[in-house]
Amino acid sequence: MQLGAAAAGANPEAGQPRKSTAASRKSAYLKIGDANPADLQKTRSCLEPLRPSKAAFGRWLSVAFPHASSTLSPTAISLRSLWLHRLPSEMWPRHPASETAGQRAQAHDVDDRPLNADEKTPADATATDKKRSSDAINKQDVIRFAPLSIPRSRRLQTAGVLFWALLLPICLSIFFLLLSIPYAWPILIPYLIWINFIDDAPENGGRRFSWVRKLPVFRYFAEYFPISMIKTTNLPADRPYIFGYHPHGILGVAAVANLGTDATEFPESFPGITPHLLTLATNFTIPLFRDCIMAMGLCSVSKRSCEAILRKGKGSAIAIVVGGASESLAAHPGTADLTLRRRLGFIKIAIRNGADLVPVFSFGENDVYEQLSNQEGTKIYALQKRFQSLFGFTLPFFHGRGLFNYSIGLMPYRHPIVSVVGKPVHVKQNPNPTKEEIEEVQTRYIEELMNIWETWKDAYAANRTKELTIVA
């Protein structure tokens, strides 16, 4: 059973006569595609006296489908929508985390509708525009659905994010499908032996293909948020570098776009420097997926892998998401809590190999997802830390938007991310650095990172709820 309802325009004027006959009620079920403006006004008049059910539904519909037009298919409104409007408002779907932070993150998503020539894109929106979007969200705390008609470019951007998010399950599905075909076993068995016992490419610089890093899908991925990079100084290609990326966020999406692909034109900004984004070694035990990420230039984050890349000579570089799994648990919108003080391993590797340290801070990385409240001392936090101690990674309980709604799902919010590449911290090579040397270099590194924050926070973290804090 399908229901069409008119939901465009304002409520009827107070003095307008109200009808409640069977014929009038029947008009409330007109398909929107068949209705003209007069029919729509009549439908609204019929809905108003039928309190509380249909009138409440009409008001709910005007918010949930703000872009509904005369071409909206009646299939867009399901029986589940009818069921929702009968619930008390306090039982309607809500954000499990901070509503203020959620509304701020969602505010960038309300512009999926087609833009007129004189309208602004989300990236160009003024503070007034964003406040207007936030006020619209505050009117009704319900699931907000995306419009049916959005620009093709927005669909391509969504496809780019889906490609990256689904790359792992797609690779596993293909592998298990091939595994179910006996004729493929003569190929799969040697392949499994090779990746687990013979191939050491992930520990020795990987197998990088420049054309893979330049694929259009990664450009769409970066444009979705959008992700951009600011260069504050030149980096001479006469020495190796270690890029320290902060903060980790939930998934480190800007680290992938800036350092794992050429979507933000890293080679043009820093010619002669070849970055290798590092990730957990366990990712290179997954069939097919390992080959895809190695083609992007990703390598293992082990000590052996780091030194193998840095010893390749001038212009070689590694990029480490320093905070790791622990920092992902602190990734809440409007905050910048870093796990850095106890991270001395990458400092020691830099000194041993004479590699300059380059801090990179991404404003907005923590704003693309909402995370369930998990302060230290809670049962959720204890569970996550226990999981991390067992498996080496953790599972933040997070959510973003959906494919067809702005309120709930696993897609990241369209929140701008700006990655600022700071000035390099020069390191003097010493094969056996002392504790004092390591701490002195770390102090200079933190000073440069704080300098990035203080310089750019008012421009790209204006809605922050707290200042950058090194929590561990």
Are 319 and 276 within 8 A, CB to CB? yes
pLDDT for 304 equals 97
Are 299 and 206 within 8 A, CB to CB? yes
Top mean-pLDDT range of 39-43, 97-101, 459-463: 459-463
- Cβ within 8 Å of residue 184, ≥6 positions away: 178
Handedness of CA 373, 375, 379, 385 (dihedral sign): positive
Q: Model's pTM, two decimal places?
A: 0.73
Residue type, 407: S
CA distance linking residue 328 with residue 247, whole number of Å: 8
Residue 433 pLDDT greater than 70, yes or no: yes
DSSP 403: S
pLDDT for 85 equals 41
Residue 387 pLDDT greater than 50, yes or no: yes
CA distance linking residue 199 with residue 219, whole number of Å: 30
- Cβ within 8 Å of residue 93, ≥6 positions away: 142, 143, 407, 408
pLDDT for 364 equals 98
Residue 106 pLDDT greater than 80, yes or no: no
Q: Which residue would you say has higher pLDDT here, 389 or 288?
A: 288
Helix (H, G, I), strand (E, B) or coil at 216: helix
CB under 8 A, 24+ apart: contacts of 163-171: 163/217, 163/221, 164/221, 164/256, 165/410, 165/411, 167/289, 167/292, 168/286, 168/289, 171/286, 171/287, 171/288, 171/289, 171/292
CA distance linking residue 101 with residue 376, whole number of Å: 20
Domain boundaries, the chain: 22-91, 152-470
pLDDT for 112 equals 52
pLDDT for 148 equals 85
Q: How many Cα atoms are found within 13 Å in the side-chain-facing hemisphere of 213?
A: 24
DSSP 4: -
Residue 48 pLDDT greater than 60, yes or no: no
pLDDT for 196 equals 93
Residue 60 pLDDT greater than 60, yes or no: no
Q: 286 φ, ψ to 5°?
A: -90, 115
Among the listed ranges 44-48, 199-203, 240-244, which one has the minimum average pLDDT value?
44-48
CA distance linking residue 203 with residue 301, whole number of Å: 8
**Nearest in space to 338 (alpha carbons), one of 442, 264, 436:** 442
Taking each helix axis as running N to C, give the angle between helix 345-353 and helix 303-310, from 0 to 180 degrees, rounded to the nearest 10: 30
Place of tokens 């809605």: 463
- Per the prediction, the chain carries an average pLDDT of 80
pLDDT for 388 equals 86
CA distance linking residue 245 with residue 276, whole number of Å: 12
Residue 308 pLDDT greater than 70, yes or no: yes
Q: How far is CA 254 from CA 217, 228, 418, in A?
A: 15, 8, 8
Residue 398 pLDDT greater than 60, yes or no: yes
Greatest extent of the chain over all pairs of C-alpha atoms, in Å: 90
Residue 113 pLDDT greater than 50, yes or no: no
**Nearest in space to 393 (alpha carbons), one of 248, 280, 245:** 280
Among the listed ranges 298-302, 319-323, 390-394, which one has the minimum average pLDDT value?
390-394
- Residue 180: CB atoms within 10 Å: 8
Place of tokens 């590449």: 421
CA distance linking residue 93 with residue 60, whole number of Å: 13
Residue 44 pLDDT greater than 70, yes or no: no
Interval 85-90 mean pLDDT: 40
pLDDT for 251 equals 94
With helix as H, strand as E and coil as C, how does 323-376 read?
CHHHHHCCCCCCCCEECCCCCCHHHHHHHHHCCEEEEEEEECHHHCCEECCCCC
CA distance linking residue 418 with residue 420, whole number of Å: 6
Are 243 and 318 within 8 A, CB to CB? yes
Interval 196-220 mean pLDDT: 97
Name the β-bridge partners of 359. Answer: 244
pLDDT for 146 equals 87
